[in-house]
Structure 1
Amino acid sequence: MRSASDLTARARIRDAALARFGADGVAGTSVRAVAADAGVSPALVLHHFGSKERLRQACDQYVLEGIRSGGDADEGALADMLRAATPVRRYLGRALLDGTDGATALFIEIVGRTQEWLAAGEAEGWVRPTSDARARAVTYVSWLLAPLVLGDQVGRLLGGDPAETATAVRGARAGLEMLTGGLFTDDRWLTAFTAVDERETR
């Protein structure tokens, strides 16, 4: 059995690694740097996690658990969740830029969970039906994560770090406004791309 202090130290190390990996990438982060950020010794980091790779895996697992436990939230809970998610957003953005196997697994998991969530929304009546549920989920997740991968460019134009809550909410509201109310007033582009799709799949 681990003591309460062990569990606290483990969580503190994981949180420090999440922030450091998000800032410098896994390759650019040392165990010593994570230990310094967490206020512990490098030996304690290795005691809890064994290696930097296993520490990265623990960060991936933490992110995945957050995604799996996500659900409906009232306004106050949503605001708290968004504020707490800043390090996770930075971690995801950096992981996707680095293109690691772990990032690939994270993306696949996020898409899968999103596809399930949207399917449930269809069944409950608050999501419109689609002819391609997989493509919808992949596209939706790509839209959500693109500002994190294009962080410097997006931040320059929106006037803030896309991983920070204020900028993340600004971008999310704009996206949700388009998804909820629509962007185009007629179907000319949908018709054109549907025709191309049908031609290419013959």
Structure 2
Amino acid sequence: MSSDSDLTARARIRDAAIALFTERGIAGATIRDIAQAAGVSSGLLRHHFGSKEGLRDACDEFAMGRIAQLQMAFTESATMGGALAPDAMALQQYLIRSLMDGSPRGAAMFEQAVLHGERWLASTDLQTSDARAFVAVLGALKMGMFLMRDQLSAALGEDVGEMPGYLRMIRASLEIFSQPLLTPEQADQALKALDRLDDSWTGDERSWQMSSMSKD
């Protein structure tokens, strides 16, 4: 994941941590294992990052920044070269694993992803009535592919966490996102139905249910 100019001890530790955190989970990767994988001492790791929590924060920051960089490059150039960069798959898998542990850091990282998404959305011509919901749901949909790695791999007959299964999964997602699944008429009807439900909601679940039933 490091470039030729980024092969410092700190970068090697970070890259080793991302790989082991992804493979074993945050709790399952020890400082000793990470240091050994990076070819450094545990003392040097602590010198650079202080603790495993500090190392994880650095990994989160690096992964989020790199993915945001690739997304912005895609937005600006409208080409998929950046999104399919060699480190993209590994960083995506790391971020999903980090989110899965349910810690406050994971929640904060998803919030940061939503903020990145809102900035990205503002730079596009996409239309939405609720920008935060748009980017949060989009992020959850994209992450779902990685959360369901085992199920997708079983359905496709190949590991989507490895090439070429990963490419097959991403190709399918591009085909899905590149064409509308609803006609304009269907989308309009669905949005109007949601508006009616929203209007019938009174804040009391029973009242909302009775109101909806009376309209049927």
TM-score with structure 1 setting the length: 0.81
Contact 2:152/2:160 (CA < 8 Å) preserved in 1? yes
Q: What is the RMSD of the two structures over their aligned residues, measured on CA atoms?
A: 2.5
Write 1 or 2 for the structure with the bigger share of helix.
1
From 73, 97, 107, give the equivalent of 1:104.
107
Q: 5+ residue gaps in structure 2?
A: 1-5, 201-216
User: Which residue of 153, 158, 168 maps to 2:151?
Assistant: 153
- In the alignment, structure 1 residue 72 sits paired with structure 2 residue 87: no
Q: 1:27 to 1:150 in 2, by over 3 A?
A: same
Q: 1:30 — aligned with what? A: 30
Change (3 A) 1:79 1:58: closer
List gaps (5 residues or longer) in structure 1.
Answer: 1-5
Q: How many angstroms does 1:186 deviate by?
A: 6.1
Q: Quote the Cα distance in structure 2 between the aligned partners of 1:131 and 1:79.
A: 27
Measure the CA separation in 2 of the matches of 1:63 and 1:13. 14
Task: Give the SS at the match of 2:110.
Answer: helix
Contact in 2 for aligned 1:63/1:88 (Cα 8 Å): yes
Which has the higher Rg, Structure 1 or Structure 2? 2
Which structure has more relative contact order (CA 8 Å, sep 6+)? It is 1
Which moved further from structure 2: 65-74 or 48-57?
A: 65-74
Query: What is residue 60 of structure 1 aligned with on the other side?
Result: 60
Q: Distance in 2 between matches of 1:61 and 1:37?
A: 21
Deviations 1:5-47 (CA, angstroms, capped at 9, x unpaired): x971110000000010111111111101101111112122112
Tell which deviates more after alignment, 40-49 or 162-171.
Answer: 162-171
CA distance in 1, matches of 2:141, 2:176: 12
Looking at structure 2, the residues matched to 165 and 16 of structure 1 have their Cα atoms a distance apart, in angstroms, of 20
- 1:137 match: 135
Take 1:175 and 1:190, find their aligned partners in 2: how far apart are those partners? 24
Distance 2:24 2:156 in 1: 23
Mapped partners of 1:16, 1:116: distance in 2:
30
Alignment of 1:152-191 (within 5 A): 152-164=150-162, 166-185=164-183, 187-188=185-186, 191=189
Q: Count the aligned residue pairs.
A: 191
Q: Following TM superposition, by how much is the alpha carbon of 1:130 offset from its aligned partner in structure 2, in angstroms?
A: 1.8
Under a length normalisation based on structure 2, what TM-score does the superposition of the two structures give?
0.77
